[in-house]
Amino acid sequence: MRDILERVAAGDLSPAAAEAELRGFARNEAGRFDAARERRSGVPEAVLAEGKTPAETAALAATSLETTGRALVTRASDAHADAVRRVVADDHPEATVEQDDRARTLVARTPPFEAPTLDATIGVVTAGTSDASAAGEAAVVAAEMGATVERVTDVGVAGIHRLFDALDDLRALDVLVVAAGREGALPTVVAGLVDTPVIGLPVSNGYGHAGDGEAALAGMLQSCTALSVVNIDAGFTAGAQAGLLARAVSDARDGSE
């Protein structure tokens, strides 16, 4: 504790960063930021913009940068992203910002931040272009956890020959996140053809009865092949689970060398 106090007194550590080290979280006007989540669970804390005002999102992103060196924002509208960019430019002009409009994510990093690296590759697979938003969120989270991410797109069961064409590539990967809407058949088919862990990501697209992702979720839960399933459009959770599996793979490889 004395070391932390001395660093604050010397100006080497901000009060928010000191609070994060002592308590595991930092407070601001928008709430509490869980700065210790990644150390505790291996999954980076994210700022969910949906349901928050742009100002609240920007305040939490600023605290994230200040305490961890990185801010990961999910479900961000243009207004959220603009507010975050302004606060980053004002408070951390040296930081880089990457925005994915389709995935609705934004990642800012300060120069001292050291991204983790894993010796593992995650495949993020989509049945169709309509699944790209949720799948993109999963890909961003998995990459921020240090895994290499490869995207395999538009291989849905309506034209299953497209999947067969990609099978050799899928079998070479360590973990798969497979996103599909409608009846959600693709993860079941993929899991029956590979010896790789498959995480099913149901997406809220489709027509009519249960077309908001419920049919896809139910189909994946009832799969007769071995796969795990996250909630509808839960790209963050799918990416986080895949990242944890990738870390286990990477640790095993490191131990065998």
pLDDT reading at 19 higher than 70: no
Summarised one tens digit per residue, pLDDT across range 211-221 is 899 999 999 99
Side chain identity at residue 193, one-letter code: L
Q: Where is average pLDDT lowest: 7-16, 102-111, 157-166?
A: 7-16
Instruction: Name every residue whose Cβ is closer than 8 Å to that of residue 138 and which is 6 or more positions away in sequence.
Output: 124, 177, 179, 201, 235, 236, 238, 239, 242
Instruction: Name every residue whose Cβ is closer than 8 Å to that of residue 71 and which is 6 or more positions away in sequence.
Output: 47, 61, 62, 64, 65, 84, 88, 106, 107, 108, 109
Please report the pLDDT score of residue 7 as a whole number: 46
Average model confidence (pLDDT) across the chain: 88
Round the CA-based radius of gyration of the chain to a whole number and report it: 20
On whether the CB atoms of residues 23 and 52 are closer than 8 A, the answer is no
3-state SS class at 73: strand
On whether the CB atoms of residues 240 and 122 are closer than 8 A, the answer is no
Q: Does residue 71 or residue 8 have the better pLDDT?
A: 71
Please report the pLDDT score of residue 9 as a whole number: 47
Domains of the chain by start residue, with CATH: 8-109 (no CATH), 121-256 (3.40.50.1970)
pTM: 0.87
CA dist 94 → 82, 108, 146 (Å): 17, 10, 22
